[in-house]
Amino acid sequence: MMTTNQGFFLLKSRLTKAVQQEILAAARSVVIQAPLFRPTMANGQSFNYSMTNCGELGWVADRHGYRYQQVHPETLSRFPAMPQVIRDLAINLAKETGNDNFDPESCLINLYRKGEKLGMHQDNTEKNLSAPIISISLGDSGVFVLGGFLRTDETKHYIVQSGDIIVMSGESRNFFHSFKGTVPNTSNLLKDGGRLNLTIRQVN
């Protein structure tokens, strides 16, 4: 386990292949009910990767900005319930890293294909900015970048591989971070390649 004194954890190889496959199957069942979408933001720019959600609330973006809502922005159906395997894992990971009483309300599923990435940002759409953020990596490896409270703070690069977990709690909960992109053909978990990242959050 890699831990910093700022509440940031990178749990390498935390998930067995069997568990990774179980979570992938659960994510697939979500995608069938709530198709992946690629939001366009206020400035007309399209997101660089695809996403969907499960759980009570889903994180969405459009010309009005970022928010949580109960319905898929295209189908207008409620996001499917969070599969039990994801919910239980998130609660256990929170406990394991010293975060009791975590209530997983939302699971954002990001799919990054070759060349797709996510720029530097802070997670601040949540009302609750102290509950931990649990992040599950599946499929191709990639580079996760962690900064500090300021956009200009020094950054550290971490390789995230299939089955690795990141927990951002404590101070690091509100640190700037980004995903620089995948290293193609580093995993055979997803048959078409790419990386799935599941971000489980408590919103309220």
To Fe ion, the closest distance from the beta carbon of 147 in angstroms equals: 11
DSSP 3-state of 167: strand
DSSP 3-state of 32: helix
Cβ–Cβ < 8 Å for 30, 83: yes
- Select the residue whose beta carbon is closest to ligand SIN and give its number: 197
Rounded Cα distance between 136 and 150, Å, is: 25
Q: Binds 118, which of Fe ion, ligand SIN, none (CB < 5 to 8 A, cut-off by type)? A: ligand SIN
CB closer to Fe ion out of 11 and 108: 108
Q: Binds 50, which of Fe ion, ligand SIN, none (CB < 5 to 8 A, cut-off by type)? A: none
Q: Binds 94, which of Fe ion, ligand SIN, none (CB < 5 to 8 A, cut-off by type)? A: none
Q: Binds 107, which of ligand SIN, Fe ion, none (CB < 5 to 8 A, cut-off by type)? A: none
Q: Binds 179, which of ligand SIN, Fe ion, none (CB < 5 to 8 A, cut-off by type)? A: ligand SIN
Rounded Cα distance between 143 and 187, Å, is: 14
CB closer to ligand SIN out of 100 and 141: 141
Q: Would you tell me which residues interact with Fe ion (CB under 5 A)?
A: 123
To ligand SIN, the closest distance from the beta carbon of 203 in angstroms equals: 14
To Fe ion, the closest distance from the beta carbon of 123 in angstroms equals: 4
- Looking up tokens 């591989």, which residue turns up? 161
* CA distances, 135 to each of 6, 62, 104, 167 (Å): 17, 23, 12, 6
CB closer to ligand SIN out of 14 and 177: 177
To ligand SIN, the closest distance from the beta carbon of 187 in angstroms equals: 15
Rounded Cα distance between 89 and 83, Å, is: 10
CA angle 27, 28, 30 (to 5 degrees): 65
To ligand SIN, the closest distance from the beta carbon of 134 in angstroms equals: 11
Under 8 Å CB-to-CB from 144, ≥6 apart: which residues?
Answer: 157, 158, 159, 160, 166, 177, 178, 179, 180
To ligand SIN, the closest distance from the beta carbon of 64 in angstroms equals: 19
Within 10 Å of residue 129's Cβ, how many Cβ atoms? 11
Q: Would you tell me which residues interact with ligand SIN (CB under 6 A)?
A: 110, 118, 135, 144, 177, 179, 197, 199
